[in-house]
Structure 1
């Protein structure tokens, strides 16, 4: 308290007042005597410390002022230095011994409490002070300096310190800045230490360790709370790996079980992105030959030039799926080699979910890895990545592989050979064969090999490479004419009963051991006459089939040229969902199969569709079929 204020309250007149109670008069006299003693010793208030003062040398009792932050920044061993704060130093000392105490009250602002620091020494040596301590838990910065490094292994003061730079701080886990917290029990030496590391604005890591020695934490390893296990095989927490089995069963049910081929081989045709040329070149050819296919899409890349630079909409892509039997597969959200858990999750999991969100009628069941898909989670110790799906363990052991399996029923990679057995069960990481650089004869030869083996083969190309040349290496890519020749060959072989053509997901469930296919038109009136209409109660009777590609096949002949119209529409509202194909039927009395490829909508709001088969002067041979492909 300032001396003038004391004298205003405690005056000799007041102490000698006859009206004052005796006990108060005695107290006033004692205070007056104490103040007189302080005055005789020069007073308790010692004034302002000079800039650059070493606080360790201040041993005379009294109150010392550091008036500004600028002055505080010059002081040596001033505790309120990071950031520098003005304040008062209160020194207490035992005159008969060397015990000295320091207490600092530091000014922060008018809106926040003061900071308080204390320490003591029993030595006459000014360098033998104990560490500063504070009743506040947050102590300030602990960044060290080039001349005074900090090692958190031996930093045992109780409290929390902000570490904004690790340049001069040793012993920390991780790589980022953060908050260090110590809690020490003096009597036992037991001491937990925690470091909360800031990785990014959206991610923190919490590290802990526990010591029992008074010397600190040297030699005690940090543990990360909530860290994925070091064994990547159990490291998937984003989704449930057991979901894969359920997804496989749902996909199988959509196709009525295994799709019987009766021993025929299966060709699966796949296209990787390049939506612009797919729309203008590929799709019209597929329609000409009534061929289904699989289109791999990157959900984040619709704005790229090969995908139409925004001119192609999600509604269009959904229409290809619904009215042309084009399966939409997840090809990774960005088609990049993601290398953290978060980015891999986006690539694999959100890559699929966002496709379905953009196209509510489409079921995305298949993941096709791209050529840069190593997908190693560098923030997961021991993760070896998907490695383009080269081995089954790539899918069962890696972080990315487990996400692929958990989120999809069918997975593509580079496991084994190109010609897969048709067992009715998906082959994990089944291989695919590029035809980007093929002439038509090259592709046809590969299909002939699949025929000879009685197996399945996936052929794929990049639509944006059609009719172009690799200028760096000087070789041409497949031409539109060659691709058309391949499609004509596939249609002819299918018509001759020597192969079946399916989507990637459909082919994954193809079974050469039987010829049974679930016909959604079985038992309909169409089975007798082959013409007319039939309504399918999708949601109530065929809900299990919704989301899978199907082909409507009608075998017919005519003695005079005519047309056959195959049509599937939303009952009562064809404007909202309609697939139709008008076929020219030659008047040669030759039986032929006529097709309409569709995908039954995943959207449960479409509860009924009507199948219409109409034509004049023709004969329908056998019952029509609506079955999965």
Structure 2
């Protein structure tokens, strides 16, 4: 049941109303995480000229943030049924003693009068001066959350478990947990940020292939992080959540909800199949935009607040929405959006921030992507790249130096430290090519996520790109080499790949058959993009590649050339002389100002 709380800014902070440029609330709300109560995404609060405001919230704990240039005030509150004034909810989050005094004051002088004087009355009585009252208020808001958790009114629902000094890596039981001591929130205990109190949520999903746990930590300043655990593997790295805000869905058809954000549906009678809902239950909708430049490429996640069930669907290009797939049903759809539906998008935006912008000036953009075969790469390819000033993407397997690795002989026992030096030099971008290049595997966590994390540890820099290794037809749980958009949203492998990388190659051809595999420079990163293989070195293949690069020049588009260095001088495929001749042609196109050659991650974010 929603609770309406009235209040005034000047009654809860010592800062004048005119000095408060923005007020934000994180409301408590009950959703599918067991019996706990968590907060929603931040939302702006309408504040009248006299400082008055009204909040409509569910029972539970939330935060009110009052901000202006150079300062902010964070005010916790705990709402309970029967409350009408924000000052009550503030007192309820401060201490049981203050809450008791506030209720006595309200009974004695009336609700509205208490709202004007209650906070100053209680604090001035303790401090013996009105000037000290504001300082005590801020101190109380930060230091007395611990007692508030233990002494909440019996009508308030709140997580029953306190984390204490527990390591977050061992917290895998679904539910909500509180951390009331900043001193316990340490990086040694695997918190993403130290010395801040907050709430941890653990969300479960499961399937025949794996068990997954998702942790989301929201700290007292409003920031949130998520991470996930697959099976018996290791926790992924924490990723900070990008905040979106949506609104109430009402009777809107979900097919038309394309703006990224989080939305609520408070009426089960509005959630009908005719309006695109997977179930006739109240809940929340999250819309993810994996490609901002393509208004029709979206992912939707619907979470029922009645049954705690979760569904996923997607739309690609100008097509129709896919069928809803329930998480934990016969076929799981673990998009990089369960718990944190923005994982892939966060990685993409971080890539743009760290590497971009990449402007083409109207030139075509070509990426040369080379898969393993480090011995030939070092001896033949690398000197040629240096001589011509070309940069490439070099896709490697994390198990490349293990004797049982499929392509061990072609690696030449070249250590990771040497590969790191090439990356430091700037001549290569190192991409993730899986752990072992197996045609099939039951350990997807190690093959996809573990491989990326290992390579990052060896080269000392982020691995942004996934270069798809060849699989058998139904390998990796039906992922099938990523030949269609659905493979990335309807299989465990596809979801892991999207979760772990900003740039993802596969086997999806460009939809424009007239310019097959020429991608537009339109500001967004395609998913599952493909390239043309140079390995054979035949005249027909090289002629085709040159022709398609010419099409990319005419269209001011993007093109990918794929290549296995192990094929050089093997007696069957490309010779070193043919390769060097092709690279000379590429250099000539660069010198003529028709193309630019960049690693895959720069290719992906290029814009005109």
Larger radius of gyration: 1
More helix by share: 2
Q: What's the TM-score once normalised by structure 1's chain length? A: 0.41
